[in-house]
Amino acid sequence: MVSPEDFQKIALGFPEVEELPHFEKTSFRVNKKIFATLDLTNLEATVKLSFTEQDVFSLGRAEVIYPVPNKWGKQGWTRVILKKVDKALLQAVLISAYCEVAPARLSKGIARP
């Protein structure tokens, strides 16, 4: 299990990330683009992944990480259940999400999983 505080610490650890409200959730943005949201009510996160990364991270882990079940999921948005994800997997997912939306000047020095 990963706490909301752990999620926040990891997400804010990337260069130039802002934490801002997004409807009833908290968003994490780089260059004004959302790469993750945090739903404190349901202890879930939603992250923006490439289709390949969405498939790889979801494979065999459907109870932990899966595409959002609507048109957003078909755009790479992926749900992560904080009660079930381990910290190492979450770290890898957030790195991928950050690198997916961050400008190259920020993401080039970050090793993707």
| Whether pLDDT at 63 is above 90 | yes
Token pair of 60 as six digits: 């065999």
Q: Three-class SS string for 39-71?
A: ECCCCEEEEECCHHHHHHHHCCCCCCEEECCCC
Domains of the chain: 4-104 (3.90.1150.30)
110 pLDDT tier (thresholds 50, 70, 90) = confident
Q: Are 37 and 62 spatial neighbours (Cβ–Cβ below 8 Å)?
A: no
Q: Which helix (H) or strand (E) holds 25?
A: strand 25-30
Q: Are 102 and 30 spatial neighbours (Cβ–Cβ below 8 Å)?
A: yes
Averaged over 83-102, what is the pLDDT?
97
Can you give the pLDDT at residue 20?
Answer: 98
Cα–Cα distance, 66 to 108 (Å, whole number): 26
pTM of the predicted model, to two decimals? Answer: 0.94
| Partners of 20 in beta bridges | 27
| Whether pLDDT at 37 is above 90 | yes
| Whether pLDDT at 47 is above 90 | yes
Cα–Cα distance, 103 to 86 (Å, whole number): 27
| Whether pLDDT at 113 is above 80 | no
